[in-house]
Chain A
């Protein structure tokens, strides 16, 4: 590990933030179009974040502050390990386990911080968020374990690399269609997109965990959210949609995947949290198990289709 690794890491961090924020801004315009309007400027998301950072903040105790730092730290650390089109800050450390572990730190930091605010809406939101996480994580993890089993590696970049070469047919989403569906649905849950956004539902629990954040805390939460989105979309992209052979291809695929998620979520109402759990355990979990069984016992989709 050299200084260069950290410089690369920093570059990835910065690029990820700028890229994702731009994509978010773009998607706000896409959303607007579905809603028959023009929508904000493409860089609105940047303005929002910087505005929030500029505002004054109030703290609700050190857990509240520390949780934010911890979450941001965890997430930033995770971003560094995400391989982007073969470009890695720390080669050979892009292990799925590391990523999901670090991601969890971020999640827990948020949960801790939100709970530290003492607002009951936040508590409900956190409990919903954790329930939600539990709901999508089990099917997703089964599928990812299936992948690891099939490819014999836990390295994200290697899994991504193995899908390349056969065009679209090489993608895991095609090779293991049920697993792809599970991953795609789980992505909604991970991103907190409708229909699985009950933990931030404004009309029900007043934005849930976010309820007490204002000013700089909120700014950090926004940055965190952008980075987390980047991690989650990248993970699914790398694992199931073939990553990218070059930065450009990667960026395009990324944008398409994210926009697809967004436009689907715009015509979806949200599930109640119990319905979301039921849904995940009824459809994706079954799919995931079937996919696992198919891969393990039939070996379909491991090397090529059939």
Chain B
């Protein structure tokens, strides 16, 4: 892991991190059931945009990917695929129990147990599912982490690409997505 307390960013990177922190676009991808608390977070009641966050339609534009709960292997392939499409710096926030140790589906044949084996996670939120307040707080935390230059999961992914790939292949057999589904 990158040493977190050591702040060896230069001025440009610090300014860059300031902008990154205050304008986080999340990817519009509801991977699991935690996504049901995202509409309230995004919309008027909790108004995520106050933090400068907003949903973005495509992975290319997004800064943060929210893994909202369990991931079936089928989804994980897409998640990895679109995570790699995202532009650096990029962050992952994992929601709820399922991403940490499998959650309710710990013995399921279709869902993974530990997310951080496959993609680097910057922040976990406890709860099943986390309330919008918890989600908002997580975003605030993420912002301060980015400001301090501590959200370096993407760098970790680059540096340990082999390790991540191996884990991905171990669990998924293939990471490539097949779309010849019906015909």
Contacts and interface: CB of A to CB of B under 8 A. Distances in A.
Contacts of B16: 54
Given A50-B19, A206-B57, A44 B52 contact: yes
A275 interface: no
B86 interface: yes
A48 B52 contact: yes
Contacts of B28: 202
A37 B23 contact: no
A43 to B, nearest CB: 9
A41 B57 contact: no
B22 interface: yes
B61 interface: yes
Contact of B52 (A35, A47, A202): A47
Interface in A9-55: 28, 32, 35-41, 44, 47-48, 50-52, 54-55
A38 B52 CA distance: 12
Given A32-B49, A37-B44, A54 B57 contact: no
A218 B20 contact: no
B61 A213 contact: yes
A44 B58 contact: no
Most buried by B among A51, A211, A215: A51
A58 interface: yes
Nearest to B20: A51
A211 B82 CA distance: 13
Contact of A55 (B43, B44, B47, B89): B89
Contacts of B50: 38-41
A35 B49 CA distance: 12
B60 A213 contact: yes
A27 to B, nearest CB: 13
A197 interface: no
B108 interface: no
B70 to A, nearest CB: 24
B160 interface: no
Interface in B1-45: 16, 19-20, 22-23, 25, 28, 43-44
Contacts of B47: 32, 37-39
Given A40-B52, A51-B23, A56 B57 contact: no
B133 interface: no
A55 B23 CA distance: 12
Nearest to B62: A214
A53 to B, nearest CB: 8
Contact of B23 (A47, A202, A210, A213): A47
A207 interface: yes
A212 B28 CA distance: 15
B87 interface: yes
B88 interface: yes
A51 B64 CA distance: 13
Interface in A182-231: 202, 206-207, 210-215, 218
Interface in B56-92: 56-61, 63, 86-89
A55 B58 contact: no
Interface string B151-168: 000000000000000000
A214 B52 contact: no
Contacts of A51: 19-20, 22-23, 63
B23 A211 contact: no
Nearest to B154: A56
Contacts of A213: 60-61
Contacts of B56: 207
Interface of A: 28, 32, 35-41, 44, 47-48, 50-52, 54-58, 202, 206-207, 210-215, 218
Given A35-B43, A54-B19, A215-B87, 15 more contacts: A28-B49, A37-B43, A38-B50, A40-B52, A47-B23, A51-B20, A55-B20, A56-B88, A57-B87, A58-B60, A206-B58, A207-B56, A213-B60, A214-B86, A218-B61
